[in-house]
Structures are given as C-alpha cells and as structure tokens.
Chains A and B, each alone.
Chain A
C-alpha cells in the first residue's frame, strides 16, 4: 500500500498523463492549488509546443487507442528520456508564475532535486523575469531535438526509441547545458537586464508580488521575447558544441503533421488526442489545456452504483415541493470507470440515458441508483424532469442526445462539458452567437469547484444551460484567454444574474453532479 508522508491540508497533488491533468476537488489553500495546477499545465504546454513533446503525446494517443500494442512501452521510454527536463521546467515555471521564489517547496521534498536542476541552469540570484525566459529557453532547446524527424523517417511502425542518439534525448541535452556555460550566459543577461530595466516599476518586487503582470506586457513582453531568443541561441550553441542539433521552434510542425498522419493510419478507429496543433488550429499552442483537459476528482459520490430496470423502483429525487426526476445522458464507459456496478448489465451502446438518484442509509450516501430508459416517452412526468447531457455522449451519439434535448423543457435541460470546452465555445459562437455566462465558486461539504455556467444565444434562440465544472485555475484561465482572444472576447458576455435566474435548475443539476459523479471536468471523458 502506498501512502504519502508528511502531507498537511495545504499540500495538494496533481497528475499529468499527456492528455490533461487530474486534481482533487478538496478545498485547498488557493496558492497551493494554483501552484499544483500551474505545474500540470506547464507539462502540457511543453508537450504541446515542442518536437519531442509532439512525439511523446502521439505515442500516448496510440497507446490509448491500442493498449495491447507496443506504444505504451515506447511512450514510457520517451518519457524516461525527457522527465528531468519536464519536471525542472514545470516546477520552475510554476513557482515563478505564482509569485514564489525559485527555491525548494515546503511539503514537496521529492521535488527538491528538480528545483536544484532549475537553479543550476539559471543561477540562484536571477530575477524572476530573467529566470522565466532562461528556463523556457533551456527547456525548449532540450525538447527541440531531431527525434521527431527520426521517427517520421523510420515510420512509426518501425520506430524504436533506442534509435535516438544520446543528444537527441532531452535529459542528455539538459546535462550538456548544466555542464556547459548556460548559467554564465544567464548571469550576463541578468546584468544586462538589471542595467536596462532595473529602474522599471515592474522589476522591483512589491509586497508579495515578485513579478507583476506588467512585466509580461507591452515593451517588457517584447524585451522578454528578445531575451528568450538570445538565450535559446546560446543554448543551441552549447548543444551544437556538444554535437547536438536543435530544430528551431515551430519548424517541427510539418514533421508533427506527418507523424499524426502515420498515427491515424495505424489507428483507423481514431485517436483520443491528436495534439493542440490539430485540435486548436490557428490557436495559441501555449494556451492549451486549462479548459480542455482538466479532470477533477470528487470525493462525495458513492463508489457503489446499482443498475435496475426502469420501473422496478422509484427513481424520484428530493422531497415535497422539490421532488423531481433527474435523467443523465452519458456513456456506459464513463459509468463503468467511475463506479463499482451491481444489478443488471448496462446496455451496450455508444450512449445511454439513466434516471439517477442517490440512495441513503440514514444520513450516509449508500449508493447511486441508475435506471436506464430507452426514450423520453417512457418517463413518468408526474414530477418535473431535469435532463443533463454529457458533451462526450453528445459527440458519441448525436441523434439520441438530440432527441432528449429537444424533448426536455428548455428551462430544465443542461449540457455538462466533459470534453474540451474552448474549441467548442469558439465553434458555437463563430456565426455571431453570444455566450452569456457567470462563474461561481461552489463549496459544499468537503468539495470546492468553480462552475462556469451560461447559455449560447442567437436570434432569439438559446441553448441548453452549458455547465463547465472547473477550478480556480481554470476559471482564471478562462478570463485570461478571453482577454487575449478577440473572437472569444466578442462572443462571451458576463451575465451577473445568471445563477440567481437559473437557481432552481442549477440547484438540481449541481447537487446531482457533485454528489453522484466521481470525475468531472473537460478532460473527464477519458475516465
């Protein structure tokens, strides 16, 4: 049995798995929660934006599609060749972008050596503005290897990780930078930056703010870009002297497209993730993930779920004037991944609708009861019926989910996002529609979740209530992306009354969602 030692409530953990990341819904100190999710986000950013990351995530997608084939072993080999770069980048960038010093993190002792590697790269006294550019340049240089080109030339079916030269492996490149003169170059840049920017307000720390937003805005952002390019060139020089090639940033995109083409041929049944380059064409690759790949683990739902034929027992929830029937249209895999099932077998279908409620034993939640229903017409409508459609079910079975959405009362139907949300929002609003939205912190029992809710409106028509379960990090990221993406910003409108106006609906849906689902979020469709 594995246990974590020395963990106090302000220490939380996360897990990145090439597709997205998973965090808990337990209330955490905001700063701690932000550090963890920022850390996981930077893993994804490094994979989304680099050649070696593209190769590894393609292997991960193939491993997911064909778990019995050799892809998972290849994926693990590639990860083992790059894990030191990944961890020193993620730990360094997450510290620097959450107003912390680049120093060992109290409560995370196993990360001390990755912090030490980052410190050896950028120096112990570097200003965070310099350290940020220096760490990013070093990690990029390490990950921009010829590995992707080697894999494309060999063909995925014949590619072996052992064919990669040592200096095409990111961890070896990191050692070359550590043993080379990279830290000296950073120190020189530090001096230069102090002379040029030392008198700027953004350079000087104020209270707890070590690096204010202005340090990454306007002229300071341009200067940071130039600093990054100089340090990247320096890293390239060191690597070349050691005998390594570096592929310039973004030059690997053609090879990545070719590799994805090969992967699609090898997995004609489809790949679950094909990389930000293809998933968000034209989008900023560095921004992927926050609203596209979060999985939030909810602690309240019973592990046990009982499936019975509809009509055998009552599936009604609530008491007195709150009595209602709650129907969720989801996928059987999602149910199987979340619960230990008892009762009758789940129908073998792309998607299914179940009446769902919680069975109590006194005060204790004993199990989740699920009663599959074939069609809306089967339902007893003596109490109000609320319908939630999971977006992954809508993608898997558009006709069936469409029937349920059309049948339901528009004030009682919701679309719960368990698939990437940002591309969907862009798509929905491309024709001039507006997304009227509000974000709220929902804190119940031992859970803390941000709910982004809204409706897409166009020419007097309105969509089901869209619900995006997220975290403080995700909600903040949504705001930041809106600010940077003109199309999204024009389409998204704040609706400060939404939660009040939709309170009856949201009370029902969120209660069922938070107490009967074990995994939510825009990456939870893979669970």
Chain B
C-alpha cells in the first residue's frame, strides 16, 4: 500500500494480505472471505451491480479515510458473518467502520517468542487453565528459562490476550484459549492525535 498526499493506492494484493492477516486460524471460511471481499469492493466503489468476470487484479486510488473505512468495514463484515449476523444492513456496518476507522487501528502481530510460549503451554495441557506468569515460566524448558524473566512472560501473555489467543483473569492470572475458540477479531485501538 502506498500513500501519496491524502490518497492511497489499494490493490487486490493488499486485500489478500489483509485477509491473511485477519483471517480465522484455518483461513478457509469461504462465507467470511466472501463477506470480506463483498464489503471491501462495495465500500471502495469497485463495481456496480451484477457479477463481473474481470481479468487481472484490481487497484483503486482512494482518499486515506475512505480506504480505512473500506478496510475496517470489510473486516467487520467478515466478523459479523462468522458471528452469524449476516443480515446486518451494509450501511450499519459501514457506519460502524467509519467510527472505528477514526481511531488508530492495527492488527496484533505475534512474534516467535509469543507463539512458542502458546505452543509450549498447549503441549503441557494448560489450555483453559488459569495460570500465573511464574507458573508459565516454569513450564519453559530449563535452557530457555534462564533467558526470560517473569515480567517478560507476563508481557508475552498480555500479547496473547491482545491477539485473542488468551484472556486475562486478574493481575497475575491468564487463561490460554483452546484451539478453535480464539477470539478472531481483537482490535488494538489507539486513539490518534487530533
């Protein structure tokens, strides 16, 4: 995606990359993908009525705000589809997207450390089990334990919460979600400067 003044060029590769970043774990929910694509094309003004058989990918120049609304609306449409709310009015989703897009929004990206922590806890049968940072650290292999502090583990668990893979139960207690029940959309919102 490239920005030029207040206009952004958004193309089909960006749409694919966006879907890959936000898609459910198995990535092959065709109804959610279709809802995402449909809403993206509609809000970006890509085509009018009917079904198109169009060669190549597509690319569209949009004002930055419109691009953000289109992206958020597409993600929300996919999320609502997954939640079984597929009859929501398109305009309601776009209005909600407009609100969300006025904030700074970015997907939570997990690093290798967090992914390895989640895998390790799962391997140890600690899904759906309240766990402290100290306990989580003890579950690491001895050789790795030396390199990370309890605070590092607490930070990593918080990142898993932001990514929808875990829930925070208290000051020093987290629960790792079972595979398949991860919160698919967990937005990390930062209100931008006025």
Q: Which residues of A contact B (CB under 8 A)?
A: 1-7, 11-18, 36, 39-40, 43, 72, 75-76, 79-80, 83-84, 86-87, 90-91, 107-111, 113, 117, 161-162, 171-172, 174-175, 178
Say yes or no: A6-B34 contact (C-beta < 8 A), given A16-B50, A16-B51, A76-B49. no
Contacts of A36 in B (CB 8 A): 53
Contacts of A171 in B (CB 8 A): 30-31, 34
Contacts of A109 in B (CB 8 A): 12, 56-57
Complex partner residue of A5 from B46, B47, B57, CB under 8 angstroms? B57
Complex partner residue of A13 from B11, B45, B53, B87, CB under 8 angstroms? B53
Contacts of A76 in B (CB 8 A): 49
Contact residues of B between 50 and 101, Cβ < 8 Å to A: 50-61, 87
A3 contacts B58, CB within 8 Å? yes
A108 contacts B87, CB within 8 Å? no
Secondary structure class of chain B's binding surface, majority of residues? mixed
Contacts of A175 in B (CB 8 A): 30-31
Contacts of B47 in A (CB 8 A): 2
10 contacts between A and B (CB under 8 A): A2-B58, A7-B56, A13-B53, A79-B51, A80-B38, A109-B56, A110-B58, A161-B87, A171-B31, A178-B30
A5 contacts B59, CB within 8 Å? yes
Say yes or no: A4-B56 contact (C-beta < 8 A), given A15-B50, A76-B49. yes
Contacts of B33 in A (CB 8 A): 113
Contacts of A16 in B (CB 8 A): 50-53
B30 contacts A113, CB within 8 Å? yes
The 9 closest A-B pairs by CB, nearest first: A11-B55, A17-B50, A7-B56, A162-B87, A6-B56, A4-B56, A13-B54, A5-B57, A14-B53
Complex partner residue of B55 from A12, A43, A79, A83, CB under 8 angstroms? A12
Task: Give A179 to B53 CA distance when docked, in angstroms.
Answer: 27
Contacts of A3 in B (CB 8 A): 58-60
Complex partner residue of B11 from A5, A11, A108, CB under 8 angstroms? A5
Say yes or no: A5-B56 contact (C-beta < 8 A), given A83-B34, A83-B38, A84-B30. yes
Task: Give A90 to B52 CA distance when docked, in angstroms.
Answer: 11
Q: Give B51's nearest chain A residue, CB to CB.
A: A16
Contacts of B12 in A (CB 8 A): 5, 109-110
Task: Give A80 to B80 CA distance when docked, in angstroms.
Answer: 14
Say yes or no: A84-B34 contact (C-beta < 8 A), given A2-B46, A161-B87. yes
B57 contacts A110, CB within 8 Å? yes
Q: Give A3's nearest chain B residue, CB to CB.
A: B59
Distance (Å) between the CB of A72 and the closest chain B CB? 8
Task: Give A161 to B38 CA distance when docked, in angstroms.
Answer: 17
Q: Give B50's nearest chain A residue, CB to CB.
A: A17
Of B30, B34, B52, B55, most A-chain CB atoms within 10 Å:
B55
Contacts of A84 in B (CB 8 A): 30-31, 34
Say yes or no: A15-B52 contact (C-beta < 8 A), given A84-B34, A172-B31. yes
A6 contacts B57, CB within 8 Å? yes
Contacts of A161 in B (CB 8 A): 87
Task: Give A278 to B189 CA distance when docked, in angstroms.
Answer: 55
Q: Give B16's nearest chain A residue, CB to CB.
A: A109
B53 contacts A108, CB within 8 Å? yes
Task: Give A43 to B38 CA distance when docked, in angstroms.
Answer: 18
Contacts of A12 in B (CB 8 A): 55
